[in-house]
Chains A and B, each alone.
Chain A
Amino acid sequence: MKRTIPLLITGVVGTVLVVAYFIPHPPFDSLREDFSIFFDIIASVAFILGGGNLIRMHGSRISRKESNWPYSVVTVLGFLLTLFVGLTKLGNPNGFLGSSVTTSGSYFYAAYEYIFRPAAATMFALLAFYVASASFRAFRAKNAEATILLLVAFIVLIGRTFVGELLTSWLPDSLHFLTIPYLVEKIMVVLNFAGNRAIMIGIALGIVSTSLKVIIGIDRSYLGSG
């Protein structure tokens, strides 16, 4: 019961979706749509699960007064306040039934504009510094492969700016193939393209075989050990 039913659900749903591609007629096409919509709905429930998990985790930290528990209070408060203003559409200029929850002027919008947006953008912006640091400390020409990697990164970095154009603009037309913009273009459209296409074909094969294993029940890792 604990394992058979989930295996059955996965098998039936997966098979229907695959069959619907080859037989796009009733009942498979409508079943395909229905299963996809059910998936969308359950995916949105997963957000509630995520929120619930967060509260459970930080709630237990607070109740046990674990180290750094005051930060968990910040998380829980931030979560509850945003949830409250979002579900009630508090401060929405057009009222509760009037318009979208993200309408400018509501408190939910304020949570986005003044907390989420700067925090998310800055978190990602920090990576610029770490990439720079990695370039200095780890990006070294230790062997032939590393040297190729480094040279290409170097050309792309320079070539994707105006400086790249400027540096080799003095070259005559007959040596056009040596200009940095031309090199970047060929690196991206020929060699990067080729490498990524090979990787893509490999990944596609991997995903197809993994999906097949999940659908026919060979891969059961998602069921856990219990």
Chain B
Amino acid sequence: MKRIMWLGILAIILLVLALRTAQGHMLNPFDSFHGFGTWFAALLTLAIMSFLYNDNPVYRFAEHLFVGVSAAYWMVMGFWSTLVPNLFGKLWPSLTAKLFIPGIADQPRDPLWFLYFIPLVFGILLLLRLAPKGGYLSRWALALILGTTAGLRLIAFLTADFMGQIRATLNSVAGYVHPSLPGGTGVFSFEQMFWDVVSVIAIMAALSYFYFSKEHKGNFGRFSRVGIWVLMITFGAGFGYTVMGRIALLVGRVEFLLVDWLHVL
């Protein structure tokens, strides 16, 4: 009975869609490639949304298609945007210009072009992970990736996130920011100073919660409890913003279905 009801609803929807298409209110999927593509995109959207009711074969089809297409998409983008101009173009410029990107021919050759054999070799080593033997060699490439990431991050987080944030905290309690500095109005304000002091106390309280070398008892315990409240406020704000973001994405999809596909708006 339930199945018949669902089939009935589906038949009515299909009939309405067919009528609207026949009357020219919607793009005809058989008229143009764009029309076909828009229908396919709309059906794919609905297929994925069907997961909200239950896991089903239509959803799984869409999901698996998405995985395959996206993996290839990234691979192709990596190939054309980085491997060709920055690796092949450096090692074999004239051949790359002839076969792939003519614009490379205008580039003066890098005097240290032979250094690019290093990423070529390391790239091949990375791919050895797929080979049945010699997979351990891929660790060499992994080591280079990790070394670079660690080196870059160590400095970036130390300067921008650690020292930068401490400096900004210390600078902010004066209730006055010189107009030449970012965000500076040049006007002293008691209200601003009050909020700055509140903010500094809140930062200290939140940091005290993460300080585990001292037992959270007595005054310190009370202060770290304030820190928990600050963190809860932070998470609450984060949740509110997360909801906002997710809803915006849904609105975007609904607009696609109503405007681009159904043409009802």
Contacts and interface: CB of A to CB of B under 8 A. Distances in A.
Given A36-B148, A42-B122, A191-B234, A118 B83 contact: no
B66 interface: yes
B150 A211 contact: yes
B69 A78 contact: yes
For the complex of A and B, 6 pairs with smallest distance between CB atoms: A17-B151, A195-B234, A152-B236, A156-B240, A78-B68, A86-B76
Interface string A102-136: 10000010111111111111111111110110010
A18 interface: yes
Contact of A123 (B37, B66, B206, B244): B66
A163 interface: no
Interface in B217-256: 227-244, 246-247, 249-250, 252-253, 256
A207 interface: yes
Contacts of B80: 86, 100-101
Nearest to A50: B71
A94 to B, nearest CB: 12
B171 interface: no
Given A187-B237, A191-B234, A128 B249 contact: yes
Given A128-B250, A190-B198, 6 more contacts: A8-B143, A39-B144, A39-B145, A52-B130, A56-B130, A123-B66
B73 A82 contact: yes
A195 B146 contact: no
Q: Counting chain B CB atoms within 10 Å of each CB, which of A56, A78, A126, A191 scores highest?
A: A191
Contacts of B236: 148-153, 156
A5 to B, nearest CB: 6
A203 interface: yes
A68 B55 CA distance: 13
A42 B123 contact: yes
B187 interface: no
A72 to B, nearest CB: 7
A87 B38 CA distance: 24
Nearest to A159: B240
Nearest to A53: B130
Q: Is the interface of B mostly helix, strand, loop or mixed?
A: helix
Contacts of A5: 140, 143
Interface residues of B, number: 114
Interface stretch (B2-10, B14-22, B162-170, B174-182): B162-170
A142 interface: no
Given A38-B144, A74-B68, A215-B151, A117 B41 contact: yes
A197 B203 contact: yes
B151 A50 contact: no
B161 A204 contact: yes
Interface string A192-226: 11111111111111011011101100000011101
A101 B44 contact: no
B247 A51 contact: no
B188 interface: no
Q: Counting chain B CB atoms within 10 Å of each CB, which of A56, A78, A135 scores highest?
A: A78
B202 A18 contact: no
B65 A74 contact: yes
Interface in B120-147: 120, 122-123, 126-127, 129-130, 136, 139-147
A9 B146 CA distance: 9
B119 A38 contact: yes
29 contacts: A6-B139, A8-B143, A17-B147, A18-B151, A39-B144, A41-B119, A45-B83, A46-B78, A52-B130, A54-B68, A54-B71, A80-B68, A83-B72, A87-B79, A101-B80, A111-B73, A115-B66, A118-B42, A127-B246, A152-B233, A157-B243, A157-B244, A160-B240, A191-B199, A191-B230, A194-B203, A198-B231, A208-B154, A210-B150
